[in-house]
Amino acid sequence: MIKKLAGLIAIAAIVVACTTNAITGRSQFKLLPESQLQQMAVGEYQSFLSSNKVIPATSSNRDAEMVSRVGQRIVNAVTTFFKQNNMAQELEGYQWEIKLVQSNEANAWCMPGGKIVVYTGLLPITQNEAALANVMGHEVSHALFGHTNERMSQAIAAQYGGSILDAFMANKSSAAMRNIFGSAVGMSSQLGILAFGRKQELEADRYGMIWAAMAGYNPEEAIGLWERMQAYAGGGGTPEFLSTHPGPERRIEQLRKYLPEAMKYYRPVSK
Ligand SMILES: [Zn+2]
């Protein structure tokens, strides 16, 4: 009986799985309730922090202080944008946190619900605060536009089926689900089990530039940033950001197309 019930819940979830994003206008396949995903994120975030070295954002560590400052400005920009578009309710479950962790990986991510982590290994590539703002804007966009949910839903539909979804609905985080979550968020710089969609990456680039501009950082820095990122990836590292793009030239070309739109939001701030 319980099994049957769970099956029905899964079917109901699939029926409502296709939604259109109000900002991007893109139709998305999402199986997981956002609130439950955010709840799972809190647990995964805590477990990540307890097994990694967090650098406190004090005046004695300028990098951590910078990450915290840039992140907060991005969060403020996003909050303003959503309010202006009458979508403040979309951010209701968000409890933003911004951390810098010690790691040689060139990586950063944002979980659904607003937990943002930057790895120290990313800073030699960002090189300046405006470029960092563009990366953080990119990562925040993945969370805001439900990309984690989309990636997980794809993996569940393609590889796992209903049982894993039933367990999730019953609030049991199976090892498989945690693994899918980690890959979907981009917590590992290795290519995970998920294919990251090109559309999602370009969406994150485009809105990342807008958040950065609204936060007072030049969105044009995104171009130099992704060029450095590609040079880095050519050396053997594969950050999440680069896993799907058709080619370096194509991405830069897209960034240039997005630039005039982002520039409309750009109000430089004095530091
Ligand atoms: Zn990305």
Q: What pLDDT, on the 0 to 100 scale, is given for residue 58?
A: 86
| Inter-CA distances, 143 with 127, 140, 185, 189, Å | 24, 5, 8, 17
Residue in the structure block whose two tokens are 């578009």: 85
Domain ranges of the chain: 34-151+174-263
User: Which listed residue (97, 129, 139, 240) is catalytic?
Assistant: 139
| Inter-CA distances, 187 with 114, 181, 182, 271, Å | 14, 9, 5, 31
Burial (CB count within 10 angstroms: exposed 0-12, middle 13-18, buried 19+), residue 93? middle
Q: What pLDDT, on the 0 to 100 scale, is given for residue 237?
A: 60
Going by pLDDT thresholds of 50, 70 and 90, the confidence category of residue 135 is very high
213 has a pLDDT exceeding 70: yes
With a CB cutoff of 8 Å and minimum separation 6, the contacts of 99 are 49, 54, 55, 67, 116, 117, 118
Strand partners, 99: 117
Average pLDDT across the chain, whole number: 86
Q: How far is the CA of 250 from the centre of ligand 1 (A)?
A: 15
Q: How far is the CA of 141 from the centre of ligand 1 (A)?
A: 8
Q: How far is the CA of 138 from the centre of ligand 1 (A)?
A: 6
Higher pLDDT, 237 or 151: 151
Higher pLDDT, 191 or 57: 57
Q: How far is the CA of 187 from the centre of ligand 1 (A)?
A: 11
Going by pLDDT thresholds of 50, 70 and 90, the confidence category of residue 4 is low
Going by pLDDT thresholds of 50, 70 and 90, the confidence category of residue 243 is low
Q: How far is the CA of 67 from the centre of ligand 1 (A)?
A: 18
What is the pLDDT averaged over residues 24-40? 90
Q: Judge whether 90 counts as a catalytic residue.
A: no
